[in-house]
């Protein structure tokens, strides 16, 4: 939450939503117990729906001045943000411009703002506004498990199953839209300078949760003499921190992260989103528009044992977008995994996955959050292909198993 907002004493009311979580798994041979599947219950006091004010995402209609001010090839993220704030002031009014929090200039063009319901309804009537959408809270349970050090290197079963490891020699990077990445982990090549923290802009994108570091290791852990190895071993990972140490965030913050990747990324890069929440058209469109620029997106299907069409961004379909379900070491569909074709494109290893962790350690956990980075690594190496199908898919249409 922004300092300026705290000073107002207003309550930020974010609608509760499911968030793609990971589960602890002590052994890759077995799925975690049913009660280990994490569901957001809405118990966060900041998620009260009936509050007087809440945060909204506002998308502006395109116009000639916007196109001129924000040319597609401009990658000056801060400069674009300043231009958007000036445009908001001109298209709407000074008060709205002053109260705008995150601004979006590439994946979508708009901003977030705290409003009353009456203010939101009034703003939606503006000729300059395309949509006004209530923000939603997203919560990731802090993963548990036995964090360990590692002497010799091992190759996790999932890496082998998808055709890795392969030493990466390309120029693309993997954007980790998550809890950050351990900037000093000896088994990761991290571009900390390009990383960004949307939870606290005064701090780095270092990982204080563990989830993002785990994702990064599956994609790109170094092929060295210690720890684990990733699918595209040695690729550069860039942390985009949109979730806090306790796994909390918001759709508005996730959209800001996608917008940053759309601005700074290039064709051939890969973005991993091992997260999700309630349906959000703004987030869906942000992912679609960023992917249209040539950035490949790997999206977690979710862990609610339901149709993946019920959550964003996992429900998104389009060029350069891949939604991923999970299976175990025996090729059986993970009971917790969301399903549905569309939007699910591939299944990947997601049970008992060992990877890097915050503090230079390693951890073994499960979830579609763990399956998705396997595909992100494959996407860095080229185009994914099918290598068999899973058994036990709830929708009766077995998902293809990804391979490079």
DSSP string, 76-112: -HHHHHHHHHHHHHHHS-HHHHHH--SEEESSSEEEE
Closest CA to 243 of 60, 20, 12, 4: 20
Residue 355 DSSP one-character state? E
pLDDT value at residue 141 = 66
Angle at 379 between CA 375 and CA 384, to 5 degrees: 75
**Residue % of the chain over a pLDDT of 90:** 80
pLDDT value at residue 89 = 95
Each residue of 228-253: pLDDT tens digit? 999 999 999 999 999 999 998 999 99
Residue 361 DSSP one-character state? -
Residues assigned a catalytic role: 178, 211, 369
Residue 261 has pLDDT above 70, yes or no: yes
**Pick from 19-23, 195-199, 244-248, 251-255: least confident:** 19-23
Residue 2 has pLDDT above 80, yes or no: no
Q: How many CB atoms lie within 10 A of CB 150?
A: 16
Strand partners, 356: 362
Those residues whose C-beta lies under 8 Å from the C-beta of residue 364, and which sit 6 or more positions away, are 24, 25, 26, 27, 28, 145, 146, 352, 353, 354
What sign results for the dihedral spanned by CA atoms 180, 184, 189, 195?
A: positive
User: Are 137 and 250 a contacting pair, CB within 8 Å?
Assistant: yes
Q: Rounded distance, CA 148 to CA 22, Å? A: 18
Strand partners, 240: 177, 196
Each residue of 199-221: pLDDT tens digit? 999 999 999 999 999 999 999 99
Q: Rounded distance, CA 85 to CA 76, Å? A: 14
Residue labelled with tokens 């900037």: 183
Q: How many CA atoms lie within 13 A of 68 on its CB side?
A: 4
Q: How many CA atoms lie within 13 A of 186 on its CB side?
A: 11
Query: 109-144 burial, b for 16+ CB within 10 Å, e for fewer?
Result: bbbbbbbeeebbeebeebeebbbbbbbbbbbbbbbe
Residue 11 has pLDDT above 50, yes or no: no
Closest CA to 110 of 280, 275, 248, 244: 280
pTM confidence score: 0.89
């Amino acid at each position: 939450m922004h300092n300026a907002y705290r000073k107002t004493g207003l309550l930020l009311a974010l609608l509760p939503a499911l968030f793609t979580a990971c589960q602890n798994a002590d052994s890759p041979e077995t799925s975690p117990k049913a009660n280990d599947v994490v569901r957001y219950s809405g118990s966060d006091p900041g998620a009260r729906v009936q509050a007087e004010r809440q945060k909204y995402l506002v998308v502006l209609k395109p116009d000639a001045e916007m196109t001129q001010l924000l040319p597609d090839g401009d990658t000056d993220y801060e400069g674009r943000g300043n231009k958007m704030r000036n445009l908001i002031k001109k298209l709407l009014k000074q008060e709205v411009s002053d109260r705008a929090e995150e601004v979006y200039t590439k994946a979508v063009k708009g901003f977030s703002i705290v409003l009353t319901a009456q203010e939101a309804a009034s703003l939606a009537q503006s000729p300059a506004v395309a949509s006004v959408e209530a923000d939603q809270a997203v919560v990731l349970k802090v993963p548990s498990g036995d964090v360990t050090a590692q002497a010799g290197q091992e190759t996790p079963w999932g890496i082998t199953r998808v055709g890795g490891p392969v030493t990466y020699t390309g120029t693309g990077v993997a954007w980790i839209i998550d809890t950050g990445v351990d900037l000093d982990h000896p088994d990761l090549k991290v571009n900390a300078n390009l990383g960004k923290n949307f939870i606290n802009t005064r701090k780095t994108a270092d990982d204080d949760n563990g989830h993002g570091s785990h994702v990064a290791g599956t994609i790109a852990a170094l092929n060295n003499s210690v720890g684990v190895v990733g699918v595209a071993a040695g690729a550069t990972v860039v942390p985009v921190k949109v979730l806090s140490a306790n796994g909390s965030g918001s759709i508005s913050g996730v959209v800001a992260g996608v917008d940053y990747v759309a601005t700074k990324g290039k064709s051939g890069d890969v973005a991993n989103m091992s997260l999700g929440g309630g349906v959000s058209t703004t987030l869906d469109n942000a992912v679609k528009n960023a992917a249209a620029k040539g950035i490949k997106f790997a999206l977690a299907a979710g862990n609610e044992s339901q149709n993946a069409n019920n959550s964003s961004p996992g429900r998104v379909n389009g060029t350069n977008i891949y939604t991923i379900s999970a299976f175990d070491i025996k090729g059986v569909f993970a009971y917790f995994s969301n399903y549905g074709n569309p939007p699910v494109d591939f299944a990947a290893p997601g049970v008992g996955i060992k990877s890097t962790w915050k503090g230079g350690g390693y951890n073994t956990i499960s979830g579609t959050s763990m399956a998705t980075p396997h595909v992100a690594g494959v996407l860095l190496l080229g185009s994914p292909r099918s290598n068999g199908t899973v058994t036990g898919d709830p929708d009766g249409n077995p998902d293809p198993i990804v391979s490079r």
